[in-house]
A and B are shown apart, each in its own frame.
Chain A
């Protein structure tokens, strides 16, 4: 068989999408398979799996950027924290089969921290759509998280009133223990994420508003860049 083809079961694991959903998408033409053998078993091209993931990044960015409010497709949308927890546990159980347990637990921890940050800081204050976008590909070793929340500048402004730019806010979020939920003793989540990323074979792109940063083993300092387009809330891409 063509080495570029993978079974529907493996495609399901790689994309974090159920076999039933893949079958349904094949039937309605949303994401087609290659049918092989007398039983017409479904297989997927590796290239299509990679392209699908690139599409997911585009979809997440579009959703975070859009001025129109709408809920993304349900397969990647976690409207509540419970849904996110369940999907993260599923992700972790698949990840640990492909990676050493230390690295998989660290990746799950930073994804969990970023995703839960969205819920913690927007509880009762979501501007339009409640919930987060959470998509991953085990073949591309990439995880995408996005929300249409208030963003870090607005959140930190409540306790650091002189902040005026997304760039300043993003730098503080990744370098200083300051919480947007003062007076509670919080604010170490993104510092934890940074500590883990720069010591392990993991990279992180993070954007809030028009400020972005990239961290990895070789880029341990927080250097903020100005993004071309401003997003609502936060967008994170984790690669390993």
Chain B
């Protein structure tokens, strides 16, 4: 499965919106097969904060562990947010 984060917006900053994003996407995540990888694509994300990332990505990784793969993480705010959350 590929999750295009830009479908949640290009300015991903607050905890409530990160939490809401994860909850809203949860029904789709139920379709993931046992050995399926989940690619999280950051293309098109202009601004990311650790608050949003913690609510969405940490929850995702808690559920799927190493099956979560982060792609196109070049944006500077994405890099810094992932670093402080020890996700890269």
A residues in contact (CB < 8 Å) with B: 81, 85, 88-89, 92, 96, 101-103, 105-106, 108-109, 112-113, 116, 119-120, 185-186, 188-189, 191-192, 195-196
> Which of B17, B47, B83 interacts with A109 by CB under 8 Å?
B47
Q: Which residues of chain A have C-beta atoms less than 8 A from B84's C-beta?
A: 188, 191-192, 195
Q: Besides the contacts A89-B11, A92-B46, A112-B49, what 6 more A-B pairs have beta carbons closer than 8 Å?
A: A88-B11, A105-B48, A112-B14, A113-B51, A116-B49, A191-B84
B44 interface contact, C-beta 8 A: no
CB distance from B76 to the nearest CB of A (A): 4
Measured between beta carbons, the chain A residues less than 8 angstroms from B75 are 101-102, 105
5 pairs from A and B in contact (CB 8 Å cutoff): A81-B14, A85-B13, A101-B75, A112-B49, A196-B80
Which residue of A is nearest B83, CB measured?
A195
Interface residues of B (CB under 8 A from A): 10-11, 13-17, 46-51, 54, 58, 75-77, 80-81, 83-85
A189 touches B11 (CB 8 A): no
User: How many contacts between A and B, using CB within 8 angstroms?
Assistant: 78
Determine the residue in chain B with the shortest Cβ distance to A117.
B51
> Which residues from chain A contact B17 at a C-beta distance below 8 Å?
85
Inter-subunit contact B47/A108 (CB<8 Å): yes
Q: Is the CB of A109 within 8 A of B14?
A: no
Docked CA distance A196–B14 (Å): 18
Centre residue among A88, A191, A192 by max chain B CB count within 10 A: A192
Q: Which residues of A contact B76 (CB under 8 A)?
A: 101-103, 105-106
Residue of A at shortest CB range from B85? A188
Query: Across the interface, which residues of A come within 8 angstroms of B46, CB to CB?
Result: 92, 96, 101, 105, 108
Contact B80 A189 (CB under 8 A): no
Pick from A101, A109, A195, A196: contact of B13, CB under 8 Å: A109
**Closest beta carbon of chain B to A189's beta carbon, Å:** 6
Chain A residues within 8 Å of B85, by CB: 188
**A177: nearest chain-B partner, CB-CB:** B84
Q: Which single member of A109, A185, A188 contacts B48 (CB below 8 Å)?
A: A109
Nearest A residue to B17, CB-CB: A85
